[in-house]
């Protein structure tokens, strides 16, 4: 292995290690909830992480604070590295290199990858793909859509085509820590001896099956009801668990809540209960509307969709009352 290749591996390990530590802090609400900028209050902890990554002499928190106060040039460079999500260059920063132990080598404490899909999910995410994916989606919405199309509910849609096991689910999982995300996995039912990760949302599989037997207009109506019910249920739960939280902080809190209890075979109880309730109420709404033949003209189908959404508020109110009494 040539020296250049070895250096590239070492740089990648440093960045991976620091990002892993930052993500752990975010999940525990210990700091770094803003993904693009870091405040001074979080800098002593970030400096501690860097000292570990670079095998430098450790400081206590007061010493780290004083060191940062006395070396403002270092503060600016650390903030820039945080914004870029790239930290390896700081290892040669003169205000850090002077702290290096004699004959010390830079090492990281990364756990080697193992050939189990769940373990892959729990490894530090490599690279900036979630952030770039979010930026691409935002740019896609804002570029060619215009003010009229920008308001369409399906305008924030994008297709990712990859082979199984290439990281699509992990990408969506990481997106949940950048912006508010409602995860849905419509993967096929697995055989009893088959284990893939992450597990599918089984309550949704029947609802989204046999779609080829329905017209496009009818599917749009049914999916509109499903999404409206879903958003109302999520809004109720977010108001319950996310009081006082906004923006990225709220997204992280929700992501951790909806993932709680997930294992190799099933999603967690919070997520399963959410989709069971959503499907139950969605079917109740759809049953309350007279069926219109698919041979009807398009205008009547569209008006049916409007009627479905109009009665949604009353149906959810009844459902909430039933839940409280049970």
Question: Could you give phi then psi for residue 157, rounded to 5 degrees?
Answer: -120, 145
Residue 195, token pair as written in the block: 């284990």
Q: Residue 4: how many CB atoms within 10 A of its CB?
A: 8
Q: Per-residue pLDDT tens for 132-143?
A: 888 888 887 776
175 vs 234, higher pLDDT: 234
pLDDT band per the 50, 70, 90 thresholds, residue 123: low
Residue 323: the pLDDT is: 36
At residue 115, the pLDDT reads 38
For 287, the 3-state DSSP assignment is helix
Predicted model pTM: 0.55
Residue 128: per-residue pLDDT: 81
pLDDT of residue 3 exceeding 70, the answer is no
Query: Residue 7: which pLDDT band, with cuts at 50, 70 and 90?
Result: low
Helix (H, G, I), strand (E, B) or coil at 303: helix
Name the 3-class secondary structure at 100: strand
**What radius of gyration do the chain's Cα atoms show?**
25
Q: Going along 210-275, which residue ranges are E strands?
A: none
How far apart CA 32 and CA 18 sit, in angstroms, is 12
At residue 248, does pLDDT exceed 50?
A: yes
**Amino acid 144: pLDDT:** 58
DSSP letter assigned to residue 54: T
d(CA 76, CA 69): 11
Mean pLDDT of the residues in the chain: 76
Q: Which residues pair with 56 in a beta bridge?
A: 100
> Which among 190-194, 200-204, 294-298 has the top mean pLDDT?
200-204
Q: What is the pLDDT of residue 87?
A: 92
Instruction: Read off the pLDDT band of 113 (50, 70, 90).
Output: very low
pLDDT per residue over 255-281, tens digit each?
889 988 887 778 889 999 999 999 999
Higher pLDDT, 275 or 12: 275
């Amino acid at each position: 292995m040539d020296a250049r290749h070895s250096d590239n591996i070492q740089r990648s390990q440093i960045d991976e290690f620091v990002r892993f530590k930052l993500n752990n802090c975010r999940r525990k609400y210990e700091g770094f909830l803003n993904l693009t900028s870091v405040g001074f209050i979080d800098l002593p902890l970030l400096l501690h992480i860097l000292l570990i990554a670079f095998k430098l002499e450790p400081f206590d928190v007061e010493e780290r604070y004083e060191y940062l106060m006395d070396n403002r040039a270092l503060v600016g460079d650390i903030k820039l590295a945080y914004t870029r999500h790239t930290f390896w260059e700081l290892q040669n920063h003169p205000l850090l290199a002077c702290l290096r132990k004699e004959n010390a080598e830079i090492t990281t404490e990364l756990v080697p990858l193992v050939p189990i899909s769940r373990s892959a999910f729990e490894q530090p995410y490599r690279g900036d793909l979630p952030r770039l994916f979010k930026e691409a989606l935002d740019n896609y919405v804002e570029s060619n859509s215009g003010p009229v199309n920008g308001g369409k509910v399906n305008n924030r849609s994008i297709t990712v085509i990859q082979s199984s096991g290439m990281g699509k689910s992990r990408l969506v999982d990481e997106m949940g820590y950048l912006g508010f995300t409602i995860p849905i996995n419509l993967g096929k039912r697995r055989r009893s001896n088959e284990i893939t990760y992450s597990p599918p949302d089984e309550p949704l599989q029947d609802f989204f099956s046999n779609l080829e037997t329905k017209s496009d207009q009818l599917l749009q109506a049914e999916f509109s009801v499903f999404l409206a019910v879903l958003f109302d249920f999520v809004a109720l739960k977010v108001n319950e668990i996310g009081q006082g939280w906004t923006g990225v902080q709220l997204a992280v809190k929700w992501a951790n809540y909806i993932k709680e209890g997930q294992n190799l075979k099933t999603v967690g109880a919070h997520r399963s209960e959410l989709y069971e309730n959503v499907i139950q109420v969605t079917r109740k709404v759809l049953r309350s509307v007279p069926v219109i033949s698919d041979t009807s003209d398009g205008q009547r189908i569209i008006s049916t969709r409007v009627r479905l959404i109009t009665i949604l508020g009353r149906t959810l109110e009844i459902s909430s009352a039933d839940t409280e009494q049970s």
